[in-house]
Amino acid sequence: MASKRAKDDLNAFVKGVHKAVSTATKEKLKGEALSARIIELIYEDIGGLVIYVPRGFREHTTARNQLIIEQYNGQNVKELAHMFGLSEQWIYKILSTALEKKRQEEETEDETN
């Protein structure tokens, strides 16, 4: 559950973006000039506000991680990081987590046999 502050920050962000877009479009700007003006207005109205925007949902992340595990060949961490838009450190974390999960499953299987 999100904290009150997180909800307030998100509300401020949404209102600030809406205000910036409304103001900039009334100025009849187009293309890059419109984009630049919107960013300028956002800086003025809500600059300094910290908002975390995750890259995707858990289902997407699980599927992505499975692809990384399947495509890992022991020497392609850098390529996987580039391919999936992640840091090399994050690829290692995904691989490490998968290895640990596999070990735990094997231990559980051994205990039941």
CATH code at 91?
Answer: 1.10.10
- pLDDT above 70 coverage of the chain, percent: 91
* Distance from the first to the final alpha carbon of the chain: 41
Predicted confidence at residue 34, as pLDDT, reads 93
What's the Cα-to-Cα distance from 4 to each of 1, 7, 11, 47, rounded to whole Å?
9, 5, 10, 20
59 close to 42: Cβ distance less than 8 angstroms: no
Instruction: Provide the domain limits for residue 40.
Output: 4-46
Tell me the whole-structure pTM to 2 decimals.
0.48
Q: Given the structure tokens 């070990």, which residue do they identify?
A: 103
Residues 62 and 42 in one domain: no
Q: How many domains is the chain built from?
A: 2
- pLDDT above 90 coverage of the chain, percent: 57
**Looking at residues 8-21, what average pLDDT do you find?**
89
d(CA 70, CA 58): 18
> Angle CA(90)–CA(67)–CA(80) in degrees, nearest 5?
45
**What is the pLDDT of the chain when averaged over all its residues?**
88
Residues 38 and 13 in one domain: yes
What's the Cα-to-Cα distance from 17 to each of 10, 39, 105, rounded to whole Å?
11, 9, 47
Establish if 30 belongs to a structural domain. Answer: yes
Q: Which residue has the higher pLDDT, 15 or 53?
A: 15
Residues 67 and 42 in one domain: no
Return the structure tokens found at 37.
């003006």
Q: Is the pLDDT of residue 1 over 70?
A: no
**51-78 per-position pLDDT tens digit:** 776 666 667 788 899 999 999 999 999 9
65 close to 94: Cβ distance less than 8 angstroms: yes
d(CA 31, CA 93): 40
Establish if 113 belongs to a structural domain. Answer: no
